[in-house]
Structure formats: C-alpha cells, structure tokens
Amino acid sequence: MVPRLISVATAVPRFAVSQDEILAAARVIFDGRVPHLERLLTVFSNAGIDRRYFAVPPAWFKESHSPEEVNRTFVETATELSAQAIRKALERCSLQPTDIDYLVFVNTTGLATPSIDARLINVLGCRTTIPRTPIWGRGCAGGVAGVAHMNDYLLGHPDQIGVIVAAEFCGLTFVANDDSKSNVVASALFGDGVGAAVLAGSNVRKDGLDIVATRSQLFPDSLDIMGWNFTSRGMQVVFDRRIPAIVSRHAAAELDALLASAELGRESVKHYLYHPGGVKVLEAYEKAYGIGRDVLSRSRDVLRCYGNMSSATVLFVIERFLESDAPEGYGVISALGPGFSSESVLFRKTA
C-alpha cells in the first residue's frame, strides 16, 4: 500500500485575455526599445497559446508598479484563489478543510510573511494544530516537487490527508521597462493560475492514483538556465533557449532511471502528464521518448487554454487526466525548473 493522489482542482483569476490582445499590447510597450522587435514577436504566434488569465486587467501591464504594490496584489489574489481551489479539490473527494492533516503551499512569483499557508488555515477554517510548509523558488518544477514532498510525508503518516496548493501569478512579475529579450518572450508564454491536490495516506480508504516512485535530479553547473534576477524594479525573468536541448540530452535517461527504481521499462508507461513549458519543450520530450504528439495532448491543451503558469500548470494537466476515462496503467508526472532541475512522479492508475 502506498499514498495516493485522490483529487485535483484548479482556479484562475477573472481577467481572460487572448493571445492576439497580448501581442498588440506588447507591440506598443516594446516599440522602439527592443531591437528586431517584429521578428522577436513571432514567438506569440508560435507559442501554441490562445488565451491566458491574469490577476490584473490588461491596462496594468502598460504602467510601472512598485514591488510593494505588486506583492500586495499577489498576497490577496493568491489567498483567495488558493482557498477556492482547495475547497473544490476537497469537495471532489468528499472531505472538509478540518480533514487536512498537512498543508503545503508552493510558489515562486510572490513573497509573504506570514506565508500564504498560514492565511489559508484562517480562511478555510482548518485545525490550527496542523503542520504546514511553504515551498518557494522551485519554479515550474514546484508542483511536481510538492506532490513528491507530500508523498514522502504520507509514507510516514499513513492515516493522514495532505493538501498541496501551487499558486503562481507570473503576470505580476512583468516589468514594463525591462527591454530584455527574456522579458519579451516571457510576455508571450506566462499566465496566472492555481492548482490544489489532495493526497491520502495508504490507510485512508479513498480511490486515486497510487504514487509508486519519485525522482529529483539537479543538473550541475546550470544555475543560469532558469530563474529570476531580483532588481529594484522587481523580479526579472531568466530562462535560456537551451532548455529544449537539455531535454533532448537528458530526458530519456531520467525517465529510464525513474522507471528502473520500480523495476519497470518504458513500455510500461501509458500516460505522460507533463508540465507544458513550451511547444519546443514538448516536442523535445516526444523526440527523446519516441512518442507521438497525441501522447502529450493534455499538456498541449492546457498550454493553449492557459499558457505556462509555472508550478501550477502541471496540476491543470493532472485535473484533466482525472476527469477523463483513461485506462488503467502506469503514468509519469514531470516538470523542469530552476537549478536547473527535473522533478518526476511515477503513478499507477487502477480501477
């Protein structure tokens, strides 16, 4: 018997903006400031994204904002939408906030002390004695890392219920007067969203995805691949165009190592629930594994409908999987993040 992932629910802020609208705004914001702008803006049409959701209206991005103002918006929105996603996830598995035994909050796009998990205990009406852990700085890999962390906790607490919530507001990190290429590309990819997952220890009688194994891998000497520079203007995004090449070089070996820990081979995997970091990243996975485009269709669909929401994105993919009539079998949940690192979870879906 092993811990199980029994429920996932998501939430997005109220401002839905089409990719065409964002492109038009980016053209105005960066006009005359970024060399070869029109050529760079082709990333919008190549991103595989139709729309994204943001915590602030489109006009907000055309102005400069103080870090204090930005973070205040983050705290308010993260608390509200995290509570919404957690309530929905609990309802889907017939549980209440008072049933939570351990709460983990995952984030990279804002700061709060007291941390958001403390605020959620108050808002949700959880027991005030439950342990809680904020996980910060894992970027896109944070959602998978949070699931793996909760699995480790429940292995030692088989009678308990754990909740992980990943809340990312990438739009709030946009700096209007940052003329870097990374800022332009980020404006074409990232959105805001929240995902919550409920996991149960092995002694809890709830159906779900059995967590079979987890794997964490840090790639040495790659700190400059993905992350943030903290400046007086705010958080300046950093990500390198070499990411697809890293996937091509390491993904197959990482998958094989995860499967080997459970004495399985690649032929055993029926489901791939991957964080859609971008179209080129998904294509690199497909080529590395020798799989067809349809295998990562859920990841592509989430990217198209929401963009890249950092750590929360993979929970949107898992939610779609749980809502489907997918067959029994083994599956892999995986994401890449700052470090540069890979986080993976091997699961088994049963009847």
- Do 102 and 229 belong together in one domain? no
Both structure tokens of 219 = 């790639």
**Burial of 177 by CB count in 10 Å (0-12 exposed, 13-18 middle, 19+ buried)?**
exposed
- Do 104 and 176 belong together in one domain? yes
Summarize pLDDT for 5-63 with one digit per residue, the tens. 999 999 999 999 999 999 998 888 888 777 778 888 898 899 999 999 999 999 888 88
pLDDT of residue 293: 87
Q: Is this prediction's pTM over 0.85?
A: yes
- Do 230 and 192 belong together in one domain? no
pLDDT of residue 8: 98
- Do 158 and 237 belong together in one domain? no
Of 57-66, 250-259, 303-312, which gets the smallest average pLDDT?
Answer: 57-66
pLDDT of residue 329: 95
CA distance 224 to 153: 31
pLDDT at 130 over 70: yes
Among candidate residues 179, 200, 221, the one where a domain is terminated: 200
If we measure between CA atoms, which residue out of 205, 203, 210, 196 comes closest to residue 92?
A: 196
- Do 214 and 98 belong together in one domain? no
Summarize pLDDT for 132-173 with one digit per residue, the tens. 999 998 889 999 999 999 999 999 999 999 999 999 999 998
pLDDT of residue 233: 65
Summarize pLDDT for 113-124 with one digit per residue, the tens. 899 999 999 999
DSSP secondary structure letter of residue 135? E
Mean model confidence pLDDT for the chain: 91
User: Nearest 5°: CA angle at 120, between 114 and 124?
Assistant: 150
Which residue has tokens 């700052």?
338
- Do 214 and 242 belong together in one domain? yes
We report the CATH number of the domain holding residue 99 as 3.40.47.10
CA distance 347 to 204: 17
pLDDT of residue 138: 87
Q: Are 328 and 239 in contact (CB under 8 A)?
A: no
Among candidate residues 200, 235, 262, the one where a domain is terminated: 200
Cis bond leading into 327, ω under 30°? no
- Do 141 and 281 belong together in one domain? no
Contacts of 179 (CB under 8 A, 6+ apart): 30, 33, 34
**Burial of 290 by CB count in 10 Å (0-12 exposed, 13-18 middle, 19+ buried)?**
exposed
Task: Provide the residue range defining the domain that includes 218.
Answer: 209-349
- Do 60 and 160 belong together in one domain? yes
Of 213-222, 309-318, 322-331, which gets the smallest average pLDDT?
Answer: 213-222
Catalytic residue among 93, 126, 140, 170: 140
- Do 73 and 196 belong together in one domain? yes
- Do 83 and 169 belong together in one domain? yes
- Do 215 and 150 belong together in one domain? no
pLDDT at 177 over 80: no
pLDDT of residue 176: 77
Of 186-190, 217-221, 222-226, which gets the smallest average pLDDT?
Answer: 222-226
If we measure between CA atoms, which residue out of 258, 252, 317 comes closest to residue 287?
A: 252
pLDDT of residue 30: 83
pLDDT of residue 249: 82
pLDDT of residue 244: 78
pLDDT of residue 67: 81
pLDDT at 232 over 70: no
Both structure tokens of 65 = 């904002």
The answer to whether residue 140 is catalytic is yes
If we measure between CA atoms, which residue out of 330, 316, 315, 302 comes closest to residue 209?
A: 330
The H or E element spanning position 260 is: helix 243-260
Q: Work out the average pLDDT over 271-280.
A: 92
Among candidate residues 200, 227, 253, the one where a domain is terminated: 200
Helix (H, G, I), strand (E, B) or coil at 329: strand
- Do 240 and 344 belong together in one domain? yes
pLDDT at 304 over 80: yes
CA distance 213 to 110: 30
Q: Work out the average pLDDT over 234-263.
A: 83
Number of domain units in the chain: 2
pLDDT at 240 over 70: no
